[in-house]
Amino acid sequence: LITTVTLNPCMDTGIILDEFLYGGLNRVDKNMYDVGGKGINVSVVIKMLGIQSVCTGINYFDNKEILEKFLNKKGIGYDFVLAPGRLRNNIKIFDKKTGTITEINEKGSFISDEIIYRLKEKIIYYARQSDILILSGSVPQGVDTSIYGQIINDVRNLPVKVILDADGSLLKAGIHSKPYMIKPNIYELEGIMGRKFKNIYDIIDSSRSLVEQGISLVIVSMGDGGAVAVDKKSAYFAPALSLDVKSAVGAGDSMVAAAAAAIIKGLDLADTLKMASAAASATVIQSGTKLCGLSDFEYMLDRIKIIPYK
C-alpha cells in the first residue's frame, strides 16, 4: 500500500470571461472546477499506474463532499481528519480578450494542535500498513513547518519508506529527519544548499552530499532541463524530451507518483528515474491541471534516455 498525505488541499475554480471588467459586472461564460493538493495529485497518478493508494491529510467539515466526491469518482480510497471550516477556493479568472489570468487565492482555515495530534495518529496508523508514505506540498495556517520532520521521526522504526516533496523550511526540517527519498526541483535544492548551481555536476554533487547524510534516494527535477537521480551507488541523468508543453502543473507530482510505483516494483535507480521522467513528460503535454494518461506514459517510457554519470 502507498499512503499519500495532503495537509493543504484546495479547490480551483476557473472562470472564463470574454473580457474581465475590473470593478464591473462580469457574466460568466464558462466555469471549471477542479480539486487540487499535491498528495491528491500523486494518488491520481499512482492509480493511473495501476497501484492502490490511500489519501490522508486534512479535509473540512463544511464542504467535505467536494474532496470526497472527487476521490470517489477516481476510485481512490481516503481517510482524512476533518477540521472545522471549509476547503479553500482558488479562483482563476481567464480574460479571453487580453489573454491574462487573474488569481485570487484564499488563505484557508486555521488548524488547531488537536487536529494535528489526530492527524499524526492517523498517519502512523496507515504508515504501519504501508510500503511507502508520501508527504507532499504546503501546510495550512497554524501548522508548524517542522511537521514533516516530526512525521518522519514518528514512523522511523516502521519499515515504511518516506518520500518527501516540499519546499523551503518544510523541506529543510524534513531532510533533517532523513526521509527515504526527496524530489526537490532545482530551486528547492538551491534553497537547501544555500547557493546557485552552475552545472549538472554541481547538482549531482549536492545530491550526493544529501545521500551521504542518510537520504537513500535523491531525484532532482530541472524542468525543461530534465532530471537527475542519485543514490549511494550511482547517478543518472534523464534529459527532458522535446515536447509540445501545455502546462507543467503537476509534473513534479507525477514524478513522485511514478518513482513510488517504481520503488514498489523493486526497480533499480535507472528505471526509477525513467518511470518518473516518463510520467512527468506525459503530464506536461496536458493542459491546465490535467495529469498524465497511461498511453502517453507508455509512449514517453519508450523515449526517455537514461545517461549514467560518474
Ligand X SMILES: Nc1ncnc2c1ncn2[C@@H]1O[C@H](COP(=O)(O)OP(=O)(O)OP(=O)(O)O)[C@@H](O)[C@H]1O
215: its cell numbers? 537520504
Does 174 contact ligand X by CB under 6 A? no
Toward ligand X, which CB reaches closer, 155 or 291?
A: 291
116: its cell numbers? 494535528
- How is residue 97 annotated by DSSP? T
Does 272 contact ligand X by CB under 6 A? no
Is 173 in contact with 149 (CB distance < 8 Å)?
yes
Give me the amino acid identity at 236. Answer: Y
Residue 226: name its binding partner from ligand X, Mg ion, none (Cβ under 5 to 8 Å by kind): ligand X
Does 245 contact ligand X by CB under 6 A? yes
Please select the residue that binds Mg ion; options are 108, 226, 250, 252, rule is CB under 5 A: 252
Toward Mg ion, which CB reaches closer, 108 or 252?
A: 252
Residue 222: name its binding partner from ligand X, Mg ion, none (Cβ under 5 to 8 Å by kind): ligand X
Does 224 contact ligand X by CB under 6 A? yes
Closest distance to Mg ion from the beta carbon of 165 (Å): 6
**Given the rule CB under 6 A, which of 8-16, 87-95, 200-208, 277-285 is the region that contacts ligand X?**
277-285
18 is catalytic: no
Toward ligand X, which CB reaches closer, 155 or 256?
A: 256
Is 273 in contact with 236 (CB distance < 8 Å)?
yes
Toward ligand X, which CB reaches closer, 116 or 251?
A: 251
- What single string gives the DSSP state of each residue in 137-148? S---TT--TTHH
Toward ligand X, which CB reaches closer, 212 or 244?
A: 244
68: its cell numbers? 470526497
Which residues ranging from 2 to 21 are in contact with Mg ion (CB under 5 A)?
none
Q: Which of 54, 187, 192, 67 is nearest to 125 (CA)?
A: 54
Is 280 in contact with 251 (CB distance < 8 Å)?
yes
Cα separation of 300 and 290, whole Å?
Answer: 17
Closest distance to ligand X from the beta carbon of 185 (Å): 3
Chain-centre distance for alpha carbon 53:
14
Does 8 contact ligand X by CB under 6 A? no
Residue 224: name its binding partner from ligand X, Mg ion, none (Cβ under 5 to 8 Å by kind): ligand X
Does 39 contact ligand X by CB under 6 A? no
For residue 161, give every residue at least 6 positions away whose Cβ sits within 8 Å of its Cβ, in sequence order, or none. Answer: 131, 132, 133, 180, 181, 216, 263
Chain-centre distance for alpha carbon 246:
18
Out of 253, 268, 271, 302, pick the active-site residue: 253
Is 204 in contact with 230 (CB distance < 8 Å)?
yes
Residues that bind Mg ion (CB under 5 A): 252
Residues that bind ligand X (CB under 6 A): 185, 221-224, 226-227, 240-241, 243, 245, 248, 250-253, 255, 277, 280-281, 284
Catalytic residue numbers, as ranges = 253
